[in-house]
Structure 1
Amino acid sequence: MNDAKPDVSKLPNVPDVPDVPDVFAPAKLGPVTLRNRTVKAATYEGLTKDGQVTDALIDFHVRHARGGVGMTTVAYCAVAPEGRTDRRQIYWREEAMPGLRKLTDAVHAEGAAVQAQIGHAGPVANPKSNKLPALAPSRHFHMTTQTFTKAATPADLKRVVEGHARAGTMAIEAGFDSIEIHMGHNYLTSSFLSPKVNHRKDEYGGSLENRARLARDIGRAVRDAVGDRIAITAKLNMDDGVPGGFWIDEAIQVARWLEADGSVDALQMTAGSSLLNPMYLFKGDAPLHEFAAVMKQPTKLGIKLIGKHFLKSYPYEDLYLLKDARQIRAAVKLPMILLGGVTDRAGMDTAMAEGFEFVAMARALLREPDLINRIKDDPATESLCIHCNKCMTAIYGGTHCVLSTEPAWGSASA
């Protein structure tokens, strides 16, 4: 095992940092100590049934815990039934608690921490599947579901804020070590931040201060509810990836407000819109044929005819969110988690040297759930992920790398 400190002088675009943390050393995240600084990022697993934890979902996270991550993230746990992107997803209620407790116990048994991603899908929710209207800042037509959203009323927003606070306390009861508040990808909170989607004229629209009101209300409500009994992180958009959307200069200010409010222990910066430009986050290939194959009509036909205009392809490079994320890093003192193209020891060490306290990995761990252990044992280990993004289309039958001989679930708890 090679536990040598990185040679910062040989890392690209790294300032002269005198004391670079070891990514594999224990680290504090709020009140929680993680065994290392790696986080399995939230990726919707597609392994729940009727809003309940399944053995396959537990196996999925146990395998990542066994593979060496400091913390694995369960996605996606909605704060209200209409806030799901699919009716099979977990939403916070008493019936889900026994399964969630079984999941957290199983992950803890492997020595890892476990985080629950909480949020409300807003205009990204599927009203046909949920049989409930999708909420949004303003009336909006959703191409994928061929439906219009409902403009959220102040009463709706009050209920959503209270739902986040309740989710925080239930997460503690279920044994989670941390919660991640979803403020990205034009889910409800992110859609309010975006001037492209938010056309309101009341106290939730117009100025950035107004558009950020919901995000700040949610953050403060969660903090008031849970105190320091559990870590709180936020996944915040830097850029919606569409003209007229939320942009980095506004993200810097929102990050500063969240820091000043004391509502979060760390920030994870993300990008893109599940509503308007979903591939902007992922970079790499856009699997149009695979998406068309799993969709129902008329969406299937729409993808075949105009999918290339909606599912755009962006060049992949390692650490592709670092350039923008370092602007947030320079603006706040909060711990930060670097997401986007972290695939090897060199990328991890670059993140540490740039001042990020943690790294988050998604697709690379879907390809190889044991990648963290292998990198720790041999720093020269390279990821097998080719960024084809075909894993995105696997969510309907259990998220996994379609190129792997074995999915990241199925037998880990045997």
Structure 2
Amino acid sequence: MTHPDVLAPAKLGPITLRNRIIKSATFEGKTPNALVTDDLIEFHRRPAAGGVGMSTVAYCAVAPEGRTEYGQLWMRPEVVPGLRRLTDAIHAEGAAASAQIGHAGPVANAKSNGLPALAPSPSFNPMSMKVTKAATLDDIRRITAAHADAARFAIEGGFDAVEIHFGHNYFASSFLSRKTNHRKDSYGGSLENRARIVRETALAVREAVGDRIAVLAKLNMDDGVPGGFWIDEAIQVAQWLEADGGLDALELTMGSSLLNPMYLFRGDAPVYEFAQAMTQPLVKFGVKAIGKQFIRNYPYEPLFMLEQARQIRAAVKMPLVLLGGVTDKAGMDTAMAEGFEFVAMARALLREPDLINRIAEDERTKSLCIHCNKCMPTIFSGARCVLVERAS
């Protein structure tokens, strides 16, 4: 074998995973009071028992206004005991635990949170029907420090790693994009200025945790939006993050939860199901009327991020995690052969939490996920594969 065995143990910064397969962050919708629940613990225990090397808990907001909705977990002292129960359950199954920390920024639901959504520049959020507030320099400093605090809470909660969210036009990612960042100060304009917040945040987290846990970041390669953040800029940002030395690995992603969510997922666009999941009548009507313009259909293909991810791989030496259409051993082996150190999976593990164990037993095993994406609207009521429900 000329490339690493994806099923063999591997180092990730200061920790060792039992294999190179990570359950990527997928918002669970299982924290109605912004605290860990038994349902959330079981959600992560199952893929841990099913063989993944690490399971990523999402989404762990660093501040109350940084939640995408009011019930979302946010990092504070009250959450630590529940986090410890969660990580203990994951560890008992032999897997490591990672906390995805971040701030939703313009994607936050200001109406649900009862707090203004913050962005580089004012913009309209159709989900909350409110205009975001431009973040002040004090806001930026506070949110950067809150990432460091969240990482400390993650350590108290027993996590082995944190993953900083620099994707999908959440707070940090929205600063990277010219489409959403119209600032004239030191956080706007040039790419160096627009990337300032991701670099400062990565270093703040690293300073907070040292080498006690691994530090990853989820970085957009492009937003899928004309005039937005694109691959040529992502290459430079990845090089800066590598040179800064704050990260142990980058997980590569794409798309905009704010402007083009299906660019990340590929496959069917479940417009009807999204409309049915909306609780506000006006939003429900809007999704039914014009949802197809926002929830676009992109054909699914295996390893659909590989072509762009190769360009990042060629530009940096730091470990990279390949996400997107990784569903079988053949795809994993391709990722290893292309020089990626880890792979990440999401929808396939919703469909079959034990998929990795089954692949280890028979590498010809194929995922049963059909990429219908009807799991996506279930985040509002508890993330799940609707096909499993139908079969049960």
TM-score (norm 2): 0.99
Shift in CA distance, 407/95, structure 1 to aligned 2, threshold 3 Å:
farther
Could you tell me whether the CA contact under 8 Å between 1:74 and 1:114 is conserved in 2?
A: yes
Encode CA deviations 1:313-335: one digit per residue, 9 max, x unaligned: 00100000000001000100000
Identity %: 69
Match of 1:111 among 74, 83, 94: 94
Find the aligned partners of 1:93 and 1:172 in 2 and give their Cα distance: 12
Could you tell me whether the CA contact under 8 Å between 1:400 and 1:407 is conserved in 2?
A: no
1:50 to partner: Cα distance:
1.2
Find the aligned partners of 2:240 and 2:253 in 1 and give their Cα distance: 17
Shift in CA distance, 180/407, structure 1 to aligned 2, threshold 3 Å:
farther
1:183-202 equivalence runs, <5 A: 183-202=166-185
Match of 1:390 among 374, 382, 386: 374
Match of 2:282 among 298, 308, 314: 298
Residue type of the alignment partner of 1:130: N
1:406 to partner: Cα distance:
8.2
- Matched residue SS, 2:281: coil
Match of 2:267 among 259, 266, 284: 284
Find the aligned partners of 1:289 and 1:103 in 2 and give their Cα distance: 34
The answer to whether 1:373 aligns with 2:357 is yes
Structure 1 ranges of 4+ moved more than 6 A: none
Find the aligned partners of 1:44 and 1:64 in 2 and give their Cα distance: 15
Q: Which structure exhibits the higher relative contact order, with contacts defined as CA atoms closer than 8 Å and separated by 6 or more residues?
A: 1
Could you tell me whether the CA contact under 8 Å between 2:303 and 2:331 is conserved in 1?
A: yes
Match of 2:330 among 346, 353, 377: 346
- Matched residue SS, 1:404: helix
The answer to whether 1:182 aligns with 2:162 is no
Name the structure 1 match of 2:310.
326
Find the aligned partners of 1:50 and 1:188 in 2 and give their Cα distance: 23
Find the aligned partners of 2:238 and 2:39 in 1 and give their Cα distance: 36
The answer to whether 1:34 aligns with 2:13 is no
Find the aligned partners of 1:311 and 1:109 in 2 and give their Cα distance: 39
Could you tell me whether the CA contact under 8 Å between 2:112 and 2:128 is conserved in 1?
A: no
Encode CA deviations 1:267-302: one digit per residue, 9 max, x unaligned: 011000000001110000000110111112211111
Could you tell me whether the CA contact under 8 Å between 2:222 and 2:228 is conserved in 1?
A: yes
RMSD: 1.1
The answer to whether 1:96 aligns with 2:79 is yes
Residue type of the alignment partner of 1:241: G
1:49 to partner: Cα distance:
2.2
Encode CA deviations 1:92-149: one digit per residue, 9 max, x unaligned: 1111010000100111011000000000000000011110000000000111211000
Name the structure 2 match of 1:55.
38
1:407 to partner: Cα distance:
10
TM-score (norm 1): 0.93
The answer to whether 1:215 aligns with 2:198 is yes
Find the aligned partners of 2:220 and 2:258 in 1 and give their Cα distance: 13
Shift in CA distance, 381/305, structure 1 to aligned 2, threshold 3 Å:
same
Name the structure 1 match of 2:111.
128
Find the aligned partners of 1:38 and 1:242 in 2 and give their Cα distance: 30
Could you tell me whether the CA contact under 8 Å between 1:58 and 1:106 is conserved in 2?
A: yes
1:304 to partner: Cα distance:
1.2
Shift in CA distance, 198/407, structure 1 to aligned 2, threshold 3 Å:
farther
1:405 to partner: Cα distance:
3.8
Name the structure 1 match of 2:295.
311
Could you tell me whether the CA contact under 8 Å between 1:239 and 1:271 is conserved in 2?
A: yes
Find the aligned partners of 1:81 and 1:206 in 2 and give their Cα distance: 28
Name the structure 2 match of 1:73.
56
Could you tell me whether the CA contact under 8 Å between 1:401 and 1:407 is conserved in 2?
A: no
